[in-house]
Copies of this chain bind each other. A is one copy, B any other.
Amino acid sequence: MMFAQKYQYYLELIEEYLKKLPFEDNLICQSMNYSLVGGGKRVRPVLALACAEIVGGLPGNFVREASAIELIHTYSLIHDDLPAMDDDDFRRGKPSNHKAFGEAAAILAGDALLTYAFELLSQPLSVPPEKQIRVIRETAAAAGWRGMVGGQVLDTIGNGQKSELSEIENIHRMKTGALLKASARLGAILGGGTEEEIDIVSEYASYIGLAFQIKDDILDIVGESQVLGKPVGSDEKLNKPTYPTILGLEGAYGYLAKTISSAKNTIGFFGQKADFLSALADYIAERDN
């Protein structure tokens, strides 16, 4: 199957599952559902399903668990957008959650999505229960104060000027890398991977996360200059150090290529079965939004 078809296959499994969540017709469910449906590339759950498949699992068996990761990602976006945080009025082309439902509902919808993710992760599942508990434990750790939330604190509140590449990479590793890695590990653990296989998809996901961020930073300059006709991006306006500001645009492109190459070498362990995840690495480098 070609990359685009395969991506679509995974994506539809996830979108169908998310659409069928048993939400009720009340404010909290409307607010949760508003941010959950109709948006995003669903990279995390797609990665989870692909990693389940690469180790020999049936991706269709773990759609609920992969989708739980998307709930965690969505909650983090809702809370990130709040006035006290990044104060963003728009997300994925529509008003952000607190603009549509008010701040109180947005805070609570985020809380509820995070909580619901763990409810979904702990439903009866046809894998050894020890593996299921491990997935819950690793996902919680990746999403918490040592991972995603910790990275968000450093990024939003921070400690003054961050100018070293190592500091920036540490923030990204926590803020976005940890949950991407957890997605890959969730798939590989539930799919029945060996410890070596779990470690390999984990390392692959780390490179993917890094590449994702480098490309984001590049797009913030190049993308906006194409659209707006000026070379100044939002990161630069915020005085946030980025890969292009530290390495230069050429240097950032070079670092991106090197990272993608590392990702593909790593996942190459799986031979032909690595085709989709190898193409996913290229897709992340080549995307224009």
User: Please, how many residues of chain A have a CB less than 8 angstroms from a CB on the other chain?
Assistant: 45
**Which residues A77-105 have CB closer than 8 A to chain B?**
79, 82, 84-85, 102-105
Q: Which partner residue on chain B sits nearest A103 by CB separation?
A: B84
| CB-nearest residue of chain B to A137 | B122
Interface stretch of the complex, out of A6-14, A47-55, A140-148:
A140-148
Q: How many Å from the CB of A64 to the closest CB on chain B? A: 12
Q: Is the CB of A145 within 8 A of B104?
A: no
A115 touching B140, Cβ below 8 Å: yes
Q: Within the complex, which residue of B84, B121, B129 is in contact with A107, where a contact is CB–CB below 8 Å?
A: B84
A118 and B145 contact, CB distance less than 8 A: no
**Interface residue stretch chosen among A152-160, A163-171, A211-219, A269-277:** A152-160
Are the CB atoms of B104 and A116 closer together than 8 Å?
no
A183 located at the interface, meaning its Cβ lies under 8 Å from any Cβ of chain B in the complex? no
Chain A contact residues, majority secondary structure = helix
Considering the chains assembled together, what is the distance between the CA atoms of A123 and B134 in angstroms? 8
Q: Are A145 and B79 in contact (CB under 8 A)?
A: no
Alpha-carbon gap, A193 to B136, bound state (A): 24
Query: For residue A28, which residues in chain B have a CB less than 8 angstroms away from its CB?
Result: 145, 149-150, 153
User: Chain B CB within 10 Å — which of A29, A112, A116 has the most?
Assistant: A112
Cα of A75 to Cα of B140 in the assembled complex, Å: 15
Minimum distance in angstroms from A85 CB to a CB of chain B: 5
In the complex, whether A25 has a CB less than 8 A from a CB of chain B is no
Residues of B within 8 Å of A152, CB to CB, are 108
A190 to chain B, nearest CB (A): 13
Contact among B102, B116, B130, B149 for A157, CB-based, below 8 A: B102
Min C-beta distance of A123 to chain B, whole Å: 7
A133 with B137: CB separation less than 8 A: no
Q: How distant is A74 from chain B, measured CB to nearest CB, in Å?
A: 13
Determine whether A111 belongs to the interface, using a CB cutoff of 8 Å to chain B.
yes
Contact of A129 among B103, B121, B130, B150 (CB under 8 A): B130
- Is A35 among interface residues, defined by CB-CB distance under 8 A? no
Contacts A102-B157, A112-B149, A157-B102 given; does A107 touch B85 at CB 8 Å: yes
A112 to B79, CA, bound (A): 12
Q: Does A132 contact B (CB under 8 A)?
A: yes
Whether B105 contacts A157 by the Cβ 8 Å rule is yes
Q: How far is the CA of A123 from the CA of B55 in the complex (A)?
A: 25
Residue of B nearest to A147 (CB): B115
19 examples of A-B residue contacts, CB within 8 angstroms: A27-B153, A27-B157, A29-B145, A75-B111, A79-B108, A102-B157, A104-B153, A107-B107, A108-B152, A111-B149, A112-B145, A115-B140, A115-B143, A115-B149, A116-B145, A119-B137, A119-B140, A123-B137, A129-B132
